Structure formats: structure tokens, C-alpha cells
Amino acid sequence: MARKLIAVLMPQGNVPERPSQALRWVARSLSRVGIASPLREARLILAHVMGVGPAEVGVRDGHLDREERRLLKELLDKRCERYPLPYLLGYVGFLDFILCVRPGVFIPRPETEGLAERAVELVPTLPRGAWALDIGTGTGALAIALARARDDLRVVATDTSEVALRCAWENAWRLGVLERIEFRTSDLFGAVPETFHLIVANPPYVPRREIPGLPPEVSLWEPRAALDGGEKGTEVLRAIISGSPKHLEPRGWLLCEIGHGQGEELLRFAKGVANWLELRVEEDLARRERYLIGCLGPMT
């Protein structure tokens, strides 16, 4: 039913030749299918087609040529099917840098920028030559943010997806931090025998039954393995929390992104598996539980 409705609402008519008119036409088409920020997205799509910055789209003189109009219609049709915008454009912004992203790789969200900021704030407190672990690296967003924060920090970044690891490798190479990051195929700690001063993770934490109710961009197109946290959403998080004490140096830090409403359960669970000097849950900018933060104490 949803796909039939989208088909009815697909863009009608020919693509206007003038950029300013095309911008309005694209925005109206996106608005009809329920895109939350139609003008912003229209500007980004048109800028991608024209090869200019978003601010230039509505003011550039001239006309879109036939190939530009064909490509614009192709991208617009896909976006109206709720295909994720970052997959269409091939990139997504994260903190102060740009990440390439492709289908099959989880798209980093603003909430994960909050996780990265908290991890980067800890980096100056780590000893010289410290090591960090990024579990489930995806695009490499967290690993790259850490590697950019300090030249002597070494990062191991893992994922079960070869597509994701290749994407992360390319991002690290393009951003000039490849020599500071080691990429490994690993399911959680499976191929990680070392200990670290910092572990970060943005694991799947959506309860399985809730996945069909997520926005179509997520439920239809993004990799399910990056979403599905099991029956309650905490299955992978519990595995990371229980495994991390063996892989943390004394006074090492664990930072995980979590789902809203999971904080109390995970705090209780974490207290049962290790002696923590600090253990807390922090909220994101929307005031929703989002980050579990722990500093490991002496082994008992």
C-alpha cells in the first residue's frame, strides 16, 4: 500500500530548465511524499547534479542541460521512494568532516556525533601512545574522529561487514588518518585480543519488533544488522559491556550509544560485571537517554 501511494505522489511533468524553478519543483515533489525538510533536500540534490555548492543553486543563471535534467529526475524518483539521501549523494557530514557512504553501510546520525564528542574530550587524558577500539565502525566515523584528535593515538576499528570496512578504509585514507587506524573483520571482541585505554561502540540497539515502524529510509534501505538489537534492543550492548572489562586497561573508558529507555537496565547490568570508578548514562540534545559511559576500576 505504501509503495502504491508513493507511486501516485511521484513527481509529475517535465523537469524545469531554470535552476530556481527546478528547485521549487523538486521541493514540492519531496513535500508530497512526506520528506521532513523538502527545500533543504531539494537544494542538496540539485547542487549535486549541478556540481555547485548548495548556496549557489537558486541564484545561478543559465539552464539545466538534458543530462542534468535526466539525472535530477532519476535522483528525485529514488528519493521519493524514500531511498536515503546520503546514499543518493554518496556522502554524509559528521562533525567537521565529510564521510563517503554507500548502500549496505549504516548512515551515521547526529546522536553519534554526540558520542564522538564525548570520546574526543577524553583523548587528552589518555596516556602517550594510547590505544582505542571502535566496535562496529560502519563508515569509520568514530575511529576517524579519534584518530584526528591526537597524532599518537592508535585505533583498531572492527566490523562484521566487508562492505562497511572497505567504506571506512576509504574514508580514513581520504581524510589522511589511515596510518593510525587498523581495520579488522571481527564480531565484537572475536578478533581483538588486546587491551585498550578507550572503547567506543554504536551497536544495534533497536528492539526487533520496532524496526518495521522506523522511517522507511531506515527500515527499507539501511542494513538490518546495524539496527537489530534483539528482543529488547540490548542484546549486543550487554555483550559489549560484559566483554569490555577484559579488554580495558585500568581506568580505561567505555562509551556506548544506547536507546532511550535502556539506561536503567544497562546500568544495573554493568554494575554486575565489573568494578567501575564511574558509571553513568547521559542524554542527547533531545534530552533522551543516549550514552552509557564507564571508567573501569581495579579488578577485584
Please list the active-site residues: 106, 202-203
CA distances (Å), origin 278, targets 9, 150, 251, 259: 52, 24, 9, 20
Q: Cα separation of 88 and 79, whole Å?
A: 8
Cell numbers for 62:
543559465
The backbone torsions φ and ψ at residue 237, rounded to the nearest 5 degrees and listed phi first, read -60, -45
Element (H, E) at 283: strand 276-283
**What 3-state DSSP class applies to 243?**
helix
